[in-house]
Structure 1
């Protein structure tokens, strides 16, 4: 159980949560051989995509440090136990809390609604704080994140690399952050609609790489499939080919399923019809197409399994447990560790559902 630490100095830099409170983080110090290594996990938790939804979010831990848990358990990739987290247990492990509603990006405000969209400044303030605590002297670092935090680890990966000298080993891990610009059953892109509203609400464009903007424009550049090919820093993509969040919230949202034909399927995959399974296999194929270029780089890693899940690094049952998912007889923690320490190349892609019997 690790205490919350606020960053009072962030206020003077305008690095504040949606409601204007200062951001925070949890840190558990490393020891022994890991005392000079750092693992940063960017917290996830969706987006708010309208002024109304962001105002609502101000009264939650996702928009205000007033509502954040004061103590959090560190499990999975953050665990300090070697039998739960064999490669990173002795490192300095940090969870940077998420309270800007846009994956640690954006720099604006809405005075009428008293909203502060300061994700980029929160990122910078968080990194400055950790560098002052000793991260600037790190020998090895890993930037990770799950869901909206997984997207943030992609967006900020090269920026993170620039914080360190060339002698520091720097890599990034995105868990369940590969949100696809996929079409729902009535052939609309729910996530595109969300992003269009988001771009109208605040300034996100400056966070995107110039190369991506030239090819795709700001709307498409927030989809990881258009960002990953430009990342220069070694990156590991951990994702299921049937991401539960995207299935429930974006592939078949109520707007695309007014008669509830997908309701039972979303709750339990065994209730899916043959045509619905075919639709899901098409989503899987789209994901595999999106990562083809990324996978050709020797420095990158992949673990794309066929479980119906969302986020697999935070929970002990999926990260490193007796019944954790495996590919090629190797679990997620071992795969990430082998890739990070370059013990072996990891480019594991599962066969289509329902072949995988290791899913929890």
Structure 2
């Protein structure tokens, strides 16, 4: 019985890997080098980056901007731990990234968006692209500039054709899903007025609730994220005008104030939360 079960699991794993290999294709990295002069840099001071697969046919003027996830760093210690990894430096990112799922270019796998302009924005600031601290501590050389990165990347995409967008979607997963919520209205404000804009958050609805030990752990983490990264001024004003800025990292306090159409997908049970 055990061996039969193991064989079934192995078969399933191999099938998934074959499917991903069939569906996925590699897309090269783009470094936004002109962003450095604006101070829009990763934790280590390197330029922000994204992967871009150009749309075609009927999707030429449609854009899907997907934000990578990867949690947060909430103090100097945790940000230093990320600084020399792909979550803190574009120098450590792979130059070729596999696109699949919503980013696939094959209609059988991605019938709605396969021919759109599809972008994956790499995550290297540690605060869901909300931070903006001008000063840089020489001892750590940490840069908290996530909000500047978001703006610089969108401006770069506008220059590459998104200024002509008919439809534009801001999406993301996990910490990137939170970004798609927090930046939903600001994304709408950056694209042309006539563009139809929607936002999609996949597993980005983090709740303010006690953990199994009875502590409000994630609230404490978000308090430190906002303080460390100077995020308060870049969070939705519809929320920060009513409550402590760190509470505005929770979608339950933000979603009702968002004016742009927003769609959220979340697991009914999340073992991490």
The bucket for the TM-score relative to the shorter chain is 0.7 to 0.9
Aligned to 1:60: 85
Aligned to 1:141: 168
Aligned to 1:322: none
Contact 2:232–2:245 under 8 Å retained in 1: yes
Decide which of 121, 124, 129 is 2:148's aligned counterpart: 121
Aligned to 1:81: 106
Secondary structure, counterpart of 2:119 in structure 1: strand
Aligned to 2:33: 8
- The alignment yields a C-alpha RMSD, in angstroms, of 1.1
Aligned counterparts of 1:3 and 1:123: Cα–Cα separation in 2 = 19
Alpha-carbon shift at residue 144 of structure 1 (Å): 0.2
- Normalised by the length of structure 2, the TM-score is 0.88
Aligned counterparts of 2:82 and 2:272: Cα–Cα separation in 1 = 19
Secondary structure, counterpart of 2:242 in structure 1: helix
Is 1:26 aligned with 2:26? no
Secondary structure, counterpart of 1:142 in structure 2: strand
Aligned to 2:125: 100
Is 1:131 aligned with 2:158? yes
Where in structure 1 do 4 or more consecutive aligned residues deviate above 4 Å?
none
Aligned counterparts of 1:245 and 1:79: Cα–Cα separation in 2 = 28
Aligned to 2:257: 230
Alpha-carbon shift at residue 167 of structure 1 (Å): 2.1
Contact 2:238–2:254 under 8 Å retained in 1: no
Aligned counterparts of 1:131 and 1:165: Cα–Cα separation in 2 = 9
Contact 1:176–1:243 under 8 Å retained in 2: no
Aligned counterparts of 1:230 and 1:66: Cα–Cα separation in 2 = 37
- Normalised by the length of structure 1, the TM-score is 0.67
Aligned counterparts of 1:211 and 1:34: Cα–Cα separation in 2 = 34
Secondary structure, counterpart of 2:272 in structure 1: helix
Aligned counterparts of 1:243 and 1:233: Cα–Cα separation in 2 = 27
Is 1:176 aligned with 2:203? yes
Alpha-carbon shift at residue 110 of structure 1 (Å): 4.2
- CA deviation digits over 1:77-133, x for unaligned, max 9? 000000000000000000011000000111015413110000000000000100000
Aligned counterparts of 1:217 and 1:193: Cα–Cα separation in 2 = 12
Q: What does residue range 298-337 of structure 1 map to in structure 2 within 5 Å?
A: none
Contact 1:181–1:191 under 8 Å retained in 2: yes
Count of residue pairs the alignment pairs up: 246
